[in-house]
Structures are given as structure tokens and as C-alpha cells.
A = this chain, B = another copy of it.
């Protein structure tokens, strides 16, 4: 299986420059720096992969539009990128999704189609067939992985002798891209994935050397709602090649990291976005020059208040 390369990621960096923020590294303590992707438009790294996938479409493909199914950060990222590029977008959302997320997606001008949860994926494929539109998957696509990989490129640009990069894993698009960039530029650096204990299927898969599937209901136990997906064959191949280890964190550790990021780094971070910092805080044997990717900040205000 062909993996995304450093040159794919470098090309992506040029293409996404008009849409994504060049986030700085923020010093958290003597060893840890944060890569605050919560500061991106739509509040998550997802804009990098979504915009890259859209900007690479041909004029004909753009005219026929794009489709995504998601109720989370990916939906908003596709909607936002589609607006920037003037591409029609339909986002298929489960009809039990919170109104606030639906409104956030509509805000960018995308058409939102509400369907029963079980019909979400099939309806998206119907739309692709009906409209001749292009499906933009949240992680299972080389252009999406290359876009997310620009996070790793920037980390090494800003901290060339980085020793460890901690990165959340769900579907694995972010860790795949970051791993590809970091390992190409600095092979001696360790790329460490982080998962909630309650959705640690990738840790199990990497130990087993093959994809181990956890039932969706089990993965749904974590409050880190952005980390309930599972890798595809494509992302798992990247993770096997580039990820040195996967650490897991408890729900309490995630909440503690959200609180400390608000108090000490002045960042509003969602639980999924805080797991890499939670992993850092859970151990003391770190070398100097650790970077934690803070992947997103779309937290419900009441839930956030309760964690502060």
C-alpha cells in the first residue's frame, strides 16, 4: 500500500496556506510545548485535511460538489473549506445530532441533510451517485492524511531537535500524517499516539500487528467524542510504519488536562484535544523537547465549565 510521503505533505503545506493558521508552538513547561490546533478555523486540525482534499479537486469535480457524513469537526471543516473554494457541499448528519453542531455546519453555507443514524453512510453514497459529487472522508484518503501531516512539518520546522511528538489517535489520519512528516525529517524522534483507555482499539491493533476491531458501543464510552472512530487499512498502514508506541489515558486524566490547559495555557480545549497533554502529565520520565498536539477546541460550554 502506498504511503503518504514527505513531498506529498510539503505540497499540501503550500496548498493549504491560505486556509489554515500557521500555529506556533507554545511552551507549557520546561519540557513540553503545545501545538494548538484548537486555534484553527472551525477549531480543529481537520481544516488542514479537508481543505487539501477540496483544493486538489479538478474544476469539474468542484462544480459537482462534495459530500461528507459526520456530525463533528470534519463536517464543519468540509463546510468551511467548501465555502472558501466556492464548492457546493452537502453534509449528511444523523437526525439526533445536537442542534448546536448542525447550526455550526450550516453557518458556513453547507446544506445539511438530517437522516437516521443508520442511513448516514448509505445516504452519503446515494448523494455521490445522484449528484456526481465527491465524497470527502474524514481520514481514509491520502489527501486528507497529507493535509494533516502539515502539523508534523510545522513541529519540526519550529523545533528541529524535537524528541517526542504526542498525537491523539481516532481514525488515525492526524497520527498518520504527523508520523510520516516527523519520521522523514527526524528519524530519531519518537511519534507516540494517545487514546482514551475506553477507546484503545489502536493500541490493541498495533500490539496485535493487525486491525483489532472494538464494537462501536464500546468506543462510545469515552467522553472524548472525537476519538471514537477506528483506523482504516490505509491509516493503519501508516501507523504501523511511523508510530512507535500508543499510550492510553483515563477519563479523569483527560478532564484534568482540559482544566490545566485552560488555567496554564489559556486554551479552550475539547476532551479529545487534550489527550496528548493528559499522556504527558501522566508520566514523569520525559526527555526535553516533547510536543503535544492539541487537536481541537469544540467543547460544549457547560461541559467545559464543569471541568474548569
Residues of A within 8 A of B (CB): 21-24, 26-27, 36, 38-39, 41, 43, 262-263, 265-269, 297-298, 301, 304-305, 308
Contact = CB atoms under 8 A, between A and B. Distances in A.
A161 to B, nearest CB: 15
Nearest to A25: B21
Contacts of A305: 305, 308
B21 A39 contact: no
A262 B36 contact: no
15 contacts: A24-B24, A24-B39, A26-B39, A38-B266, A39-B267, A262-B301, A262-B304, A263-B268, A266-B267, A266-B269, A266-B297, A267-B268, A268-B268, A301-B308, A305-B308
Q: How many copies does the complex hold?
A: 2
A24 B21 contact: yes
Nearest to A39: B26
A174 to B, nearest CB: 18
> Which secondary structure dominates chain A's binding surface?
mixed
Contacts of A39: 24, 26, 36, 265-267
Contacts of A24: 21-24, 39
A301 B261 CA distance: 12
Given A24-B24, A262-B268, 13 more contacts: A21-B24, A21-B26, A27-B41, A36-B39, A39-B267, A263-B268, A266-B268, A266-B297, A267-B267, A301-B308, A304-B308, A305-B305, A305-B308
Nearest to A302: B308
A84 B305 CA distance: 34
A27 B80 CA distance: 12
A263 B22 contact: no
A36 B262 CA distance: 15
Contacts of A265: 39
> What are the 9 A-B residue pairs with the smallest beta carbon separation, nearest first?
A266-B297, A266-B268, A38-B266, A21-B24, A305-B308, A262-B268, A305-B305, A43-B266, A301-B308
Contacts of A22: 24
A263 B303 CA distance: 12
A299 to B, nearest CB: 8
A232 B304 CA distance: 41
